[in-house]
Amino acid sequence: MKPFLTVYLKECVDNFRDRRTIISSFSLALMGPLLFVGLMTFMLQKTLGERDDAIHFAVVGGGNAPTLMQRLAAANANAEPITLADDADPRTLVTSGNHDLVLLIPDDYATRQSRGERVTLTLVYDSSELGSASRRARILEGQIEAYSRIIGLLRLQLRGIDPGLVQPISVQRLDVASNAEKALMVLSMVPYFILLVAFMGGFYLAIDTTAGEREHGSLEPLLSQPISRAALVLGKIAATCTFAGASLLLLLAGFYVGLPLVPLERIGLSLGFTAGNCLLIFLVMLPMIWLAAALLTVVASMARTYKEAQTYLSFLVLVPTLPIMFTQLMSLEPTPWMMLLPSLSQSFLISDFMTDDAVAIRDVALSIGSTGLLAALLTRLAISIYQRERILG
Amino acid sequence: MIRVQGLGKRFGTVVAINDVTFDAADRRVTALLGPNGAGKSTTLRILAGVLSADEGAATVNGHDVRIEPDLVRANIGVMPHNSGIYPRLTARENIRYYGRLQGLHGEALERRIESLLEQLDMVPFADRRTKGFSQGQRVKVALARALVHNPAHVILDEPTNGLDVMATRALREIILRLREAGCCVLFSSHIMQEVANLCDDVVIIAGGTVRYSGTVDQLREAAGTQDLETAFVQIAGLEEGEQ
């Protein structure tokens, strides 16, 4: 058997038996899709649900204001008629725990209305309660106020006065970041997450095969074997790539299964997370996996101990996020030179594949070529580190 | 036959060894004896090809370690100081890994592993993962690993370190058996008793240079004492005030 293959297989078997490596390699890939799907579904359901949800409340004296009650019912606010003893304190309806939101309509509602006078309605609720009473009270109040405004305007018009006089300033809300868009923001994190998994998948392998091997004292006898240092390092990097690649496949499979469950179509968005596009994402990520494995191996080889390597690499896994954060902050559009930058080019390409946009072959070639070149240089560097005597520490 | 001639090695400004010359013959056990930091490990590492000498030459069976490193590595079995084994692999898998790296495979490799396991009394724990092995068991795995390709030259760097009496005796048996089989055994130590019990030849190294080279009996003669420890201390120049 070729020395390269021998080293590769040994590192794979050895690390596959290490629980810590397995957890660190695959937990992120398993949790990622769950997290994304859960978070986005929650956000979308919150936005889309708020308008549709019926609110419930209890009403005392609903019969006094039939028109108001009809309007509220039309706005999906369902009243449950209840009665209150003449001399009872209305607060007890809520403090007794029987109801959490009660609307009180006085008996003279109709007569005061017909005389054109002001009527005061009361909403009883407990704002310190954890439930949705406060939110429903706010919605109910808003609906009653809207009705009140209409009546007010009609009264002014009847008396020949411009309704605008009583409302010199009006405010209109225009919230650009709707929850739907927040869900989209979460979705834009997917490429970043894919890149992170490419690094995390090989994290412990890169340490165990380098700094770990030296710390356990098994490096020196290994270097005394009649195999080239190149074969040795390539076997180790290949094993790191394998774990990162397996982790990424797991992640993509999770997204493939999970993302269609998010009700994205309700905000008019369709994703291209087809099996074919998943495969394309994996393909453009292959040189990135190699780059990550080589980079982690180089840095871990220079660390003196396992712990030291762990510290360096914890910072290192953040490196691929920097260009992505930068472009997101600057809202830059992809240009050819950006396709030369590892991690940035992959994040653009993944976004395009995800939304099923057209992708230029040139961009894919630039990304794969530049990332592959850098990965090859780093691999060369890793080999030369192992050719130094100082590798023994 | 291992031949070391005028070997010198510096780490920065520190001279680790200087003009180290000795021979280790086939079918003999040669001890490289010296206090800590004398340059024993550096010399053995140069022989194993993990360090390269600044001066001088070392040959194994006529092959220069610098010119034909892989040929030399295929001819020697090396067990470095405190050499570690892989805790998540079984004893057998640890040995198999090195066998494959030495180019062995298939039936021949498995047969060789099996015979090593028997020779070194490792059969009861051969298929257990080595995590939690005793120091003696670990040294056996490391030794079997170094011997898997049946090398004619065996280099052991402080092999008895951390071993109890029984494990040391077992190791001595193995070394003597290797000599019987015609091997050239070179091992380093700083314990005189080991040398007295085991060695044919002794090379005393101190402060990076060779202070003595010859048979054990000649050493007693040269030092003018029957007590080897005294002889060693005298020749290595370790007496108080001299270091």
Residue A100, pLDDT > 50, answer yes
**A181 belongs to a structural domain:** no
Query: For position A224, what pLDDT does the model report?
Result: 92
Q: Has residue A180 got a pLDDT over 80?
A: no
Task: Assess whether A142 and A58 both reside in one domain.
Answer: yes
The residue type of A320 is: P
pLDDT band at B242 (very low <50, low <70, confident <90, very high): very low
Q: Is residue A34 part of a domain?
A: yes
Between residues B170 and B22, the one the model is more confident about: B22
Residue A235 has a pLDDT of: 97
- Per-chain mean pLDDT for chain B: 90
A182 falls within a domain: no
Nearest beta carbon to residue A3 from set B78, B101, B145: B101
Contact A13 B102 (CB under 8 A): no
- Cβ <8 Å between A216 and B87: yes
- Residue B107 within any structural domain of the chain: no
Same domain? For A75 and A208 the reply is no
| CB A240 within 8 Å of CB A297 | yes
Please determine, for the modelled complex, whether the ipTM score is greater than 0.90.
yes
pLDDT of residue A177: 52
Contacts of A97 (CB under 8 A, 6+ apart): none
Give the closest-approach CA distance of A384 to chain B in angstroms.
Answer: 14
Q: Based on the fold, state whether residues A111 and A210 are members of the same structural domain.
A: no
Residues A194 and A236 occupy one common structural domain: yes
CA A17 to CA A10: how far, in whole Å?
Answer: 11
Q: Which chain B residues are within 8 Å of A218, Cβ to Cβ?
A: 83-86
In Å, how far is A232's CA from the nearest CA of chain B?
10
The pLDDT assigned to A78 comes to 84
- Which residue of chain B is at minimal alpha-carbon distance from A222? B98
In this structure, is residue A175 part of a structural domain? no
The parent domain of residue A79 ranges over 53-166
From chain A, pick out residues whose CB is under 8 angstroms from the CB of B74.
226
pLDDT higher than threshold 80 for residue A167: no
**Is residue A173 situated within a structural domain?**
no
Give the C-alpha distances (Å, rounded to integers) separating B138 from A211, B41, B157, B242. Answer: 21, 20, 15, 38
Same domain, A247 and A319: yes
What's the structural domain count of chain B? Answer: 1
Write the pLDDT tens digit of every residue in A228-275.
Answer: 999 999 999 999 999 999 999 999 999 999 888 887 777 767 777 889
Distance separating alpha carbons of residues B147 and B102, to the nearest angstrom: 10
pLDDT computed for residue A80 by the predictor: 87
DSSP letter (8 states) at residue B3? E
- A389–B51 C-beta distance less than 8 A: yes
Chain A 17-56, residues with CB within 8 Å of chain B CB atoms? 17-18
Confidence of residue B243 (pLDDT cuts 50, 70, 90): very low
Instruction: Please state, in angstroms and rounded to a whole number, the distance separating the CA atoms of residues A385 and A237.
Output: 13
Task: For residue B197, tell me if it sits in a domain.
Answer: yes
Q: Does residue B20 form part of some domain?
A: yes
3-class secondary structure, B76: strand
Name, in order, each residue with C-beta under 8 angstroms of B74's C-beta and a sequence gap of 6 or more: A226, B102, B103, B149, B151
- Whether B32 and B188 have beta carbons less than 8 Å apart is answered as yes
Cβ–Cβ gap B88/A18 under 8 Å: yes
AA letter at B104: L
Confidence class for position A133, pLDDT limits 50, 70, 90? confident
Q: What is the mean pLDDT of residues A174-182?
A: 59
Helix, strand or coil, per DSSP, at residue A128: coil
Q: Mutate which of B11, B46, B76, B86 to disrupt the A interface (most A C-beta within 10 Å)?
A: B86
Q: What does the pLDDT read at residue A274? A: 87
pTM of the model: 0.79
Q: How many helices and strands (H and E) does chain B possess?
A: 9, 10
Task: Quote the pLDDT of residue A181.
Answer: 67
Q: Which of A238, A346, A240 is nearest to A284 (CA)?
A: A346
C-alpha B98/C-alpha B50 separation (Å) is 16
| pLDDT > 70 in chain B, percent | 98
Neighboring chain A residues of B100 at a CB cutoff of 8 Å: 1, 3, 6
Q: Are residues A351 and A254 in the same domain?
A: yes
Instruction: Give CA–CA dist B172/B189, Å, rounded.
Output: 13
Task: For residue A206, give how far its alpha carbon lies from the nearest alpha carbon of chain B (Å).
Answer: 16
**Whether residues A303 and A323 fall in one domain:** yes
Cβ A375 vs Cβ A389: under 8 Å:
no
Q: Is A223 found in the same domain as A200?
A: yes
Question: Are B4 and B32 within 8 A, CB to CB?
Answer: no
**Are A34 and A76 in a shared domain?**
no
Q: Identify the pLDDT of residue B200.
A: 92
Query: Into how many domains does chain A fold?
Result: 2
pLDDT at A89: 84
Whether A183 maps to a domain, the answer reads: no
Whether A108 and A219 share a structural domain: no
Range of the domain at B56: 2-81+152-235
Contacts of B71 in chain A (CB under 8 A): 226
User: Residue A173: what pLDDT?
Assistant: 60
Q: How much of chain B exceeds pLDDT 90, in percent?
A: 67
Task: Work out the minimum CA distance from B40 to partner chain A, whole angstroms.
Answer: 15
Higher per-residue pLDDT: B191 or B240: B191
Beta-carbon pairs below 8 A across chains A and B: 76
Q: Higher model confidence: residue A336 or residue B151?
A: B151
Whichever domain contains B38, its CATH number is: 3.40.50.300
How do residues B26-81 score in pLDDT, each as one tens digit? 999 999 998 888 899 999 999 998 999 999 999 999 999 999 998 999 999 999 98
CB < 8 Å to B84, chain A: 216-218
The residue in chain A having the minimum alpha-carbon distance to the alpha carbon of residue B47 is A224
Nearest to A224 by CA among B184, B48, B102, B41: B48
**So what's the pLDDT on residue A273?**
82
Q: Choose among B51, B76, B100: nearest Cβ to A1.
A: B100
Question: In this structure, what CATH number is given to the domain that contains residue A115?
Answer: 3.40.190
Same domain flag for A38 and A60? no
Q: How confident is the model at residue A278 (pLDDT cuts 50, 70, 90)?
A: very high
Asked whether residue A340 falls in the same domain as residue A358, the answer is yes
